[in-house]
Structure 1
Amino acid sequence: MTDPQHPYSPAVVANGLVFVSGSLPLAADGSVVPGGRAAMDAAIEQLRERMATVGVGLADVVKLTYFVTDMGLRDLANEQFIELWPQPRPARTVVGVAALPRGCVVEIDAIAKVP
């Protein structure tokens, strides 16, 4: 996904790690998935797709960052995080931001290890 609007790599492998660009909650047709948990699930799905392009999956994640436009979404982030990652879970940060691209409520990026 390299074009003038998106001049970045979705995932980059360096020194045994994979750095995954922020993933927005977008449906297959490119529309924004609204809401709290539905949006987070869509963002994780996009993250999963980006990771697959370089041969890693959610089990390889060592660090996640959730960017949210409402810190009230932290509880939903916790719920999703607990469901997707068994103990010991990856490190994680939830950051409150004023706005995200396309009016999204969440963006998630990750660092994973190459298996």
Structure 2
Amino acid sequence: MTTNIAHPYSPAKRFGNQIYVSGALSVDRDYQPVDGRREALDAAMERMTERLATVGGEIKDLVKLTYFVTDLSLREEANQQFIDHFLEAGPARTFVEASALPYGATVEIDAIAIVDEE
């Protein structure tokens, strides 16, 4: 995988059966911030699952997510997002307020997943 100077890290890294997903922002594919509360949460989730898939992971493999948000009142929408995406026992989650995020995003999600060995 090639990285560029602006992003000198792996979007996701697999080590054995563990996957570590770098923070995925509430931006579109052109790095423009997504407006709207739930729309921003959904965009960050979509970017995170895209990164997860690059190394063979799926949403069902997630065991831990960390949400960084610029507005702590997004918690209720994030809880609803969890209900919508994780029907059974969902992954663990941490929810943290940050003063600012890159590209004007309002949400960033990083994740850890465990997959079956190949």
Superposed pair shares fold, TM > 0.5: yes
Distance 2:13 2:29 in 1: 23
Report the equivalent of 1:95: 96
Deviations 1:51-100 (CA, angstroms, capped at 9, x unpaired):
11111111100000000001000111101011101221100010011110
Equivalent position SS for 2:39 = helix
Q: CA RMSD in A?
A: 1.2
Asked if the contact 2:38/2:77 (under 8 Å) is kept, the reply is yes
Scaled by the length of structure 2, the TM-score of the pair is 0.92
Equivalent position SS for 1:55 = coil
Asked if the contact 2:66/2:94 (under 8 Å) is kept, the reply is yes
Distance 1:69 1:30 in 2: 17
% identity of equivalent residues: 52
Scaled by the length of structure 1, the TM-score of the pair is 0.94
Report the equivalent of 1:84: 85
Equivalent position SS for 1:6 = coil
Residue type of the alignment partner of 1:11: A
How many correspondences in the alignment? 115
Unaligned runs of 5+ residues in structure 2 are: none
Deviation of 1:30 (Å): 3.0
Unaligned runs of 5+ residues in structure 1 are: none
Asked if the contact 1:35/1:105 (under 8 Å) is kept, the reply is no
Distance 2:109 2:56 in 1: 19
